Structure 1
Amino acid sequence: MDRLLESLVPINDGVRMLFSPSPPPPISGSGHKLSRRLVAALISALLAAGSLLLGAVPAAAAAGTQADPLRLDHGNQKVRFWLGSDGEPRYEVDYKGKKVIENSRLGLVTVTTPDVIADRMDYTRGLKVVGDPNVGFRDHSGSWQDNFGSRSTMSDNYRELTVKLQAPNGFRFDIVFRAYDEGVAFKYVFPKSATVPTFKIGKESSEFNLDRTATAYVSPNESQQAAVVKKSVDQLNDPSAIYARPMTVVGNGYAVGLTEANQNDYARMMLKPVGATPGTTESGTLQSWLKENPVSVDRSAKDFSSPWRTFVLGDNEGMVVERSHLIKTLSPAPDTVANPNYADTSWIKPGTVLRPMSLNTADCKNVIDTMVARNIDYLGIDAGWYGSENDPAKNNPIIPIPNFDPKAIGDYAHSKGKKVILYVNYRGLVSYYQQGKLDSLFQQFSEWNIDGVKFGFVPVGSQATTGMVYDWVKMAASHKLVVDIHDEMLSTGVERTYPNLLTMEGVRGDEENPDAAGDIRTLFTRGVNGAADHTWTHSLARHTSKSFRYAGAVAFYSPLQFLYWYDTPAKINNTTPELWDNLPTTWDYTKFLEAKNEEYATVSRKSGNEWWIGSLSAVSRTANISLANILPAGVKYRAAIFEQDPSNPDMGVVTKVQVVDSSTVLKPVMTANSGYAVRLSPQ
């Protein structure tokens, strides 16, 4: 009888609601089966008894307890949700049987007037699950094509659970969980409402209670360009600290990239320790922190959603970055009705970029000639072409400086089969946008035969500024202009929604001169959120060696890959033309072959029928690169190898060629601060 009771799934049964993807167990006795008529009679009797015992049938259903929660399972990922004794929403996340997110709180606080405590409503407790027929599970299986990604075919397989919650005052919102092949995500959804059409979110109380024995790699000081540091999770306990997302956590047999996806109409999430003594339950617990709050919610015409709070999961930190495409998958496809240029994206061209160091027409044409010789796709004209970006009086991006003719440069580039990107500082962009003239500026760029725009020092963080910047991206698309965003802004997968947004900075790249260990930490942290414009140097001495930087352009993914940063044509004496001169910037497949944060990384990437390998090392070691992991059996490949010159370790690179196949294991002896790159072409 107990088994029969537990198998009941009516929405308002007054006894129990069981969210289960499985059918109820068969009802059988010892030696005979119960008839349908008897089963129906038993169900009626039980329901009647439940009504007598419990009184009126409630509209809410029990959400389970921690011992018996709602369960969402998909492959190696498991999510558990329940309400605490005080109606407090809680969840956990497992990966391959390991608890990567332990018992953590959910919820939010709304405000009518910011900073007025009396106007705050706390929706972190006192909640109940509403017995709505739409509550429950949903399965989805599919894929989508990414022409500008780290892999071309993106899986889109997940199991979804929507939990509808209601507060004592009647306020309702949903929490939607998804378990994907690559990880887990959840978001808050505020259904369309005429009763409470608008309000503000003053605080989001999503918590991430991490495994205290694990190690975290984080960007402190709220900056996406700060040096990533290593910390024990148990030491993430300073309530005054604020960390940038993403954060990579490496535990025993697993790694997780903690970040957000589809941050479009919302303030960015930072990560803030709850604060506790190391070794206690609360140490290592972080909370989503909306530094630029509040968030304005308007659900008068349609549902309003938060970004996805996302956990990219894998066996190690390399697999986590390998699966970073989940961030894009969580973002919606382009709106081809609102912007018809997104219906056919053949005009969007990824590629390599070279910056002219002198801003005059003659020198830019000289650089274009070098691009032809070096097979580089874009001329990337940086700050200064319309005056000092720090001088408001000379900050009009439609009036070039003397001897700089954008139209002549654009025409010359196109005559040589090349393209041009123009830099525009945020001051000019904001000014034209606020005057309603940004569309005309981009139209002028098109008439000059300009192909893209690099946004500089954009305002970051708040809901309003985020929406404004993406408005600029959409306007650029209407004129078939690709976009690169600098400096602090971080990609959150919206490049899928706006495919002309090819890359963003938000990374501690060569302009910041990181050392080898720092760059590898960045790869395994910032890499969780996808494309990163690193700006690779060539002839300029840096903390990393030239061989490291050559391989880095393969290891770090960016559809616009800026090469030879700080170099003039006279200095581009590339002794390894086969590498950067033929470098793809988007890929059909990506697989990490070796991964250990701070120490080394070996990344393989497929483009057409070729494979490219970039191996980075901050320590002395012998790499172990098995080609059986990527090459088909029975096919011979020409391997062009680029490695550190022992006679000139900082600035020297030597090359060699050998024939390999799937049985080959490459074992280069790598010194600290060295790189090793391979181009594999079938013979």
Structure 2
Amino acid sequence: MSKMFFGLKSLGVLSFTCLLQCGLLSAQKIYSISSPGNTTVLAVSAPGGKPGYQLSFKGKRITGWSALDIAVDGVSLSNAEITRYDKPVLHHDSFASPLGEQDSLHSIYQQARLRLKTTAGLSVTIDFRVMDSSVAFRYTVAAGGAVPHELREFTTFAFPSSPLIYQYNQESVFTPTRVDTFSTTTDLPVTIKSNGNYCQVGEAVNLDYTKAELVRGANGNTLVIKFPRDTAVRFYNNIETPWRTLSVAGSAIALAHCRTLSLKLADAPTPGDWSWVKGGKLIRAQLNTQSGLDCIDFAVKHHFQYIMFDAGWYGAEFRSSSDPGQVIPAIDLPRVIAYGKEHHIGVVLYVNYIGLKAKLDTILPLYKQWGVAGLKFGFVDGLTQSGLTWLSQAIKKVQQYGFILNIHDNYKPTGLSRTYPALLTQEGIRGDENSPDAFHNTTLPFTRYFAGAADFTYCFPNPKNTFSKNIKVSKAQQLALSVVYYSPLQAIFWYGQPNDYTNDSEIEFYDYVPTTWNESHYLAGDIGKGIAVARRKGDTWYLGCAAGLQDWQAVLELSFLRTGVPYTVTVYEDDGNQSIRKRTIQLSSRDKLPLKLSAKGGQAFIFRPGNHE
């Protein structure tokens, strides 16, 4: 790499742009791609044949020169020749999002393409999309031949100084860590604080690749792609890698703009009627007939849409001898399904990966015959190429049979819910099953949830069980998180039994809160400190606010409300005596709402138009 190329690191963005315009760097093959609003500039170069990029945002350098590099059969992009550069073209994409955080999504971006050929004759294309505040790029390889090829990836994200990352893996806690002391791996997406800005490095559209994580690079400023399980990705003829994404904002709450990025990068679903895919709230039944019937009655009373029989309904889930086509004697499943249909409540069945791999093609038509509404996959392999390839094919099959789907354990979203609308949610998160604290709860909205929906497996106390092992926050925070966290399918009362919930006044908020939304606004917050999110369903707004391990205060603008319309607001809050207090206030779009939350506390609000006093 030339000295001139390295010297560009010290140039300001204005000087760099001037040099580009003046043509002084043309010999270095440096290309500049600006976002539609000119807030975000991606510079791409390949001096010496090794591509790299540098990102600037609002005139400030976000990354230093970072590598765009893969190796196929041991041949990297070093000394590759640029054969063509397709200049940026402006694109406008819009599509409906009926199961999302808002009715529709809009994407405006500049797309460019760099075509390269290696010394071994390998053709590689790198596509770039530059949006206001985000960039995305991916590699496409045309290798040909009848033998399998091996791909390794060496993409880097180099920052001006050692950034702070919120490290985690799958369902672990978050550990704020400086990269210069970083000695493990972190999952994607990862949220980063660097030089006064907030960034997120993410991934979109992983269909048949392997899981990628990030490790420390050659210096304390750089993160590098690493495959944690596979040594390489294997393919025949051609391969298109997942998108690598980098988003930036001036504050943690502003970084919420990237939460739909992976959906915007994913392919549209096949044309058709997807109205049969419905979200909703779910309660888990015990492994007997009466519990299933009781859960359906509970679901009707509390406006839930589904019940679920979890692990064990067909026997020990990890034994290959257990048949997911055979129901244990304690459950009269036809009776439960029929009772559910009579009351418009769907039945979801859990199947472990062992049973899925052995009998997926057998149980799908069988469950259709039974009248099952959906499936939950358990203990899948979301870590390897073989596992992710199998999952992509399984998602497609489940959808073809008309089932909704929830994938649990280590699987994370990469935008495939757009391509496959039946994939409502997935886990890949530390939920109430694993006893998260208030720091974790108020870190999730700025990290893992920016990748997409997650099944948090909520718990809530009842008079017979406090679930103190699982719940480390107040009751009002538990209510509020059902608004703060997005998932079209929400598992509520995870460990609770329906007849134990005689505390109707405490759980009333769950009766009303939806799981899909017409409009959403991230109003205030900071990582691990607090969060406030407002979402609309029809004419009604819901607001969830949660505090971290310390008291949290904020003043919320209510300009999202309809102008000139008074709202009657029901407030659900902690009463100081380990219960929920409900009160009513009047507010309008001109008002400001002050928040004063105690540590680990929360508030949940319902804004109904009109004066109902």
TM-score (norm 1): 0.81
Residue type of the partner of 2:141?
Answer: F
RMSD: 2.1
Q: By how many angstroms is 1:364 displaced?
A: 0.7
Residue type of the partner of 1:297?
Answer: F
Determine the structure 2 residue equivalent to 1:109.
Answer: 71
Determine the C-alpha separation between the residues in 2 that align with 1:516 and 1:666. Answer: 22
Residue type of the partner of 1:218?
Answer: Q
SS state at 2:208 partner? coil
Of 319-328 and 493-502, the range deviating more from structure 2: 319-328
User: Do the aligned partners of 1:644 and 1:653 also contact (CA within 8 Å) in 2?
Assistant: yes
Which of these residues, 671, 675, 682, is aligned with residue 598 of structure 2?
A: 671
User: Do the aligned partners of 1:218 and 1:525 also contact (CA within 8 Å) in 2?
Assistant: no
Determine the structure 2 residue equivalent to 1:49.
Answer: none
Query: What does residue range 394-405 of structure 1 map to in structure 2 within 5 Å?
Result: 395-405=322-332
User: Do the aligned partners of 2:43 and 2:53 also contact (CA within 8 Å) in 1?
Assistant: yes
SS state at 2:367 partner? helix
Which of these residues, 212, 227, 233, is aligned with residue 295 of structure 1?
A: 233
Determine the structure 1 residue equivalent to 2:307.
Answer: 379
From the superposition, tell whether residues 397 and 147 of structure 1 become closer, same or farther in structure 2 (CA, over 3 Å): same
| Larger strand share, 1 or 2 | 2
Determine the structure 2 residue equivalent to 1:206.
Answer: 155
Determine the C-alpha separation between the residues in 2 that align with 1:297 and 1:629. Answer: 52
SS state at 2:535 partner? strand
Of 501-510 and 253-262, the range deviating more from structure 2: 253-262
CA displacement 1:341-399 (0-9 Å, x = unmatched) = xx11111010011011x211122101111111111110021111011113332x21011
CA displacement 1:98-149 (0-9 Å, x = unmatched) = 22222111111122xxxxxxxx2232x11221037xx222210121111111
Unaligned runs of 5+ in 2: 1-16, 462-466
Query: What does residue range 405-420 of structure 1 map to in structure 2 within 5 Å?
Result: 405-420=332-347
From the superposition, tell whether residues 138 and 304 of structure 1 become closer, same or farther in structure 2 (CA, over 3 Å): farther
Determine the structure 1 residue equivalent to 2:167.
Answer: 218
Determine the structure 2 residue equivalent to 1:588.
Answer: 518
Determine the C-alpha separation between the residues in 2 that align with 1:252 and 1:682. Answer: 43
CA displacement 1:218-275 (0-9 Å, x = unmatched) = 21xxx31111111124433x3xx22111100123453211110001121111111114
Determine the C-alpha separation between the residues in 2 that align with 1:335 and 1:456. Answer: 27
Q: By how many angstroms is 1:314 displaced?
A: 2.5
Determine the C-alpha separation between the residues in 2 that align with 1:215 and 1:595. Answer: 18
SS state at 2:298 partner? helix
Determine the C-alpha separation between the residues in 1 that align with 2:556 and 2:81. Answer: 53
Determine the C-alpha separation between the residues in 1 that align with 2:490 and 2:68. Answer: 39
Determine the structure 1 residue equivalent to 2:554.
Answer: 624
Determine the C-alpha separation between the residues in 1 that align with 2:57 and 2:538. Answer: 33
Query: What does residue range 643-662 of structure 1 map to in structure 2 within 5 Å?
Result: 643-648=573-578, 652-662=579-589
User: Do the aligned partners of 1:550 and 1:580 also contact (CA within 8 Å) in 2?
Assistant: yes
CA displacement 1:443-488 (0-9 Å, x = unmatched) = 1112211100000000122222111112111111121100000010
Query: Are positions 1:244 and 2:187 aligned together?
Result: yes
Q: Larger C-alpha radius of gyration, 1 or 2?
A: 1
Residue type of the partner of 1:402?
Answer: P
From the superposition, tell whether residues 204 and 352 of structure 1 become closer, same or farther in structure 2 (CA, over 3 Å): same
Determine the C-alpha separation between the residues in 2 that align with 1:581 and 1:322. Answer: 29
User: Do the aligned partners of 1:517 and 1:618 also contact (CA within 8 Å) in 2?
Assistant: yes
User: Do the aligned partners of 1:152 and 1:589 also contact (CA within 8 Å) in 2?
Assistant: yes
Determine the structure 2 residue equivalent to 1:152.
Answer: 103
Residue type of the partner of 2:63?
Answer: I
Determine the C-alpha separation between the residues in 1 that align with 2:159 and 2:148. Answer: 31
Query: What does residue range 509-588 of structure 1 map to in structure 2 within 5 Å?
Result: 509-539=431-461, 540-541=467-468, 542-572=471-501, 573-588=503-518
SS state at 2:356 partner? helix
Q: By how many angstroms is 1:211 displaced?
A: 4.0
Determine the C-alpha separation between the residues in 2 that align with 1:103 and 1:205. Answer: 14
Determine the structure 1 residue equivalent to 2:264.
Answer: 329
Which of these residues, 126, 129, 132, is aligned with residue 178 of structure 1?
A: 129
SS state at 1:495 partner? helix
From the superposition, tell whether residues 364 and 631 of structure 1 become closer, same or farther in structure 2 (CA, over 3 Å): same
From the superposition, tell whether residues 502 and 207 of structure 1 become closer, same or farther in structure 2 (CA, over 3 Å): same
Determine the structure 2 residue equivalent to 1:258.
Answer: 201
Unaligned runs of 5+ in 1: 1-19, 26-61, 112-119, 276-281, 337-342, 433-437
Determine the C-alpha separation between the residues in 2 that align with 1:531 and 1:392. Answer: 31
Determine the C-alpha separation between the residues in 1 that align with 2:477 and 2:167. Answer: 23
User: Do the aligned partners of 2:294 and 2:499 also contact (CA within 8 Å) in 1?
Assistant: no
User: Do the aligned partners of 1:316 and 1:595 also contact (CA within 8 Å) in 2?
Assistant: no
From the superposition, tell whether residues 594 and 213 of structure 1 become closer, same or farther in structure 2 (CA, over 3 Å): farther
CA displacement 1:152-188 (0-9 Å, x = unmatched) = 2101211011001111222220111101245110000
User: Do the aligned partners of 1:90 and 1:104 also contact (CA within 8 Å) in 2?
Assistant: yes
Query: Are positions 1:608 and 2:543 aligned together?
Result: no
SS state at 1:668 partner? strand
SS state at 2:324 partner? coil
Determine the structure 1 residue equivalent to 2:222.
Answer: 285
Determine the C-alpha separation between the residues in 2 that align with 1:211 and 1:511. Answer: 39
After superposing on structure 2, the runs of 4+ consecutive aligned residues of structure 1 that deviate more than 6 Å are: none
CA displacement 1:625-662 (0-9 Å, x = unmatched) = 424341132111111111111122xxx11111111001
User: Do the aligned partners of 1:212 and 1:234 also contact (CA within 8 Å) in 2?
Assistant: no
Determine the structure 2 residue equivalent to 1:130.
Answer: 83
Residue type of the partner of 1:101?
Answer: T
Which of these residues, 533, 543, 567, is aligned with residue 637 of structure 1?
A: 567
Determine the C-alpha separation between the residues in 2 that align with 1:439 and 1:411. Answer: 24
Determine the C-alpha separation between the residues in 2 that align with 1:182 and 1:488. Answer: 29
SS state at 1:324 partner? helix
Determine the C-alpha separation between the residues in 2 that align with 1:511 and 1:677. Answer: 22
User: Do the aligned partners of 2:208 and 2:392 also contact (CA within 8 Å) in 1?
Assistant: no
User: Do the aligned partners of 1:235 and 1:284 also contact (CA within 8 Å) in 2?
Assistant: no
Identical residues among aligned pairs (%): 27
Determine the C-alpha separation between the residues in 2 that align with 1:216 and 1:561. Answer: 29
Residue type of the partner of 2:76?
Answer: D
Residue type of the partner of 2:72?
Answer: T
- Paired positions, count: 580
